[in-house]
A and B are shown apart, each in its own frame.
Chain A
Amino acid sequence: MNKLLLLLVSVYSISFAHAQDGYITRQGEVTFFSYTSVENIQATNNQVLSLFYPSSSRIGVQILMRAFTFKKSLMYEHFNESYIESDLYPKATFEGDIIGFDANQEGSQTRIIKGTFTLRDITKPIEMKATIIKTNGAYTISGELEVLIKDYEIKVPPILSPNIAKNIQVSFKFQYVPNDDQK
């Protein structure tokens, strides 16, 4: 089974009609920030995969953890080897629904997205405010959320604890095109 179909199935209890109205981005942007008085850490991933189904308001996201880029390679090593353990848990995923979304509304609408976020094989319910913009038959979804490191059992050594925020700020921006346009 090809990987697109696997993702479709994971996002959906799917009907073929849903698959046909799908939108995709292969290069969504996710950035996270850790602010502390000792150190500020920022990393960006520009290779995030997401599928969006306007007719049912469903959205799915897959993030390859090793594709985050940091200013310093030591931060990258700590992130992948010590905190996320990317060899064991290479991907994070989100599946959810946009509450009250109107697929026919042109322009911008601000909505709450509710769903589940899985990181390090730990799944937690999560919700966030997002802006959805429809222009010329394409969609852009952007927003912010907060992730608590204790929710995902991310272990920070005591000596580095002052350097890592307990609450990680995450922002995202996905610019979707019709899935058929990618073929």
Chain B
Amino acid sequence: MKTNSSIKISIFSIIGLACVLGIYYIFNHKGVDTRKAKTEISITTNELFKDFDEDKEASFNQYIEKAIEIKGILYQVTQKGDTYSLLLRGNNIDTLVLCEMQKDQASIVKTLTIGDAVKVKGILKGFLMDAILLNCIVLEEVNE
């Protein structure tokens, strides 16, 4: 009988601990790691912005909050605090891809040169004048 009680207490303790850890994880989860996210589409800046209008923008709504890969020409690098952003261009300079990089990308970003062909992976957030991606990482295919 005493053994049964010990087993029950142990099981309830484990379940209780799992619940506490689960709740802690849910409330403190920092967000996606783009490396682990499945790539939904891989595209170039020229393919993205060719004939870009409201209908084409709407067709990309299915990729919002999903990981996408975009290859373009590095137009500008900006820095705010310890976060870098890459601005990629295609043939049309009016529309860019803004990629706010993950903080761990700083050392890679510093090796890039304006005019490089750069392929990034990030989470698509939507469109203003430009396409906006957050949590971006530089893929290995730089200067390919």
Contacts and interface: CB of A to CB of B under 8 A. Distances in A.
Q: Do A and B come from one complex?
A: yes
B98 A27 contact: yes
A69 B30 contact: no
Interface bracket on A: 20 to 34
Contacts of B64: 66
Interface bracket on B: 20 to 34
Interface stretch (A71-79, A105-113, A133-141): A71-79
A126 interface: no
B31 A64 contact: no
A26 to B, nearest CB: 6
A40 B42 CA distance: 38
Contacts of A76: 31
Contact of A67 (B26, B129, B134): B134
Contact of A2 (B85, B95, B126, B132): B95
Interface string B74-86: 0000101001010
A72 B28 contact: yes
A38 interface: no
A37 B78 CA distance: 37
A63 B93 CA distance: 21
Q: Tell me the interface secondary structure of chain A in the complex.
A: mixed
A174 to B, nearest CB: 13
Contact of A73 (B29, B93, B130): B29
A47 B129 contact: no
Contacts of A71: 30
A90 B29 contact: no
A65 to B, nearest CB: 8
B132 A64 contact: yes
Interface string A46-67: 1101000000000000101011
B100 interface: yes
29 contacts: A2-B92, A2-B94, A3-B52, A3-B94, A3-B127, A4-B95, A26-B128, A27-B98, A46-B80, A47-B85, A47-B125, A47-B132, A49-B130, A62-B128, A64-B125, A64-B126, A64-B132, A66-B64, A66-B125, A71-B30, A72-B27, A72-B30, A73-B29, A73-B31, A74-B27, A74-B29, A91-B126, A91-B128, A182-B93
Interface of A: 2-4, 7, 26-27, 29, 46-47, 49, 62, 64, 66-67, 69, 71-74, 76, 90-91, 182-183
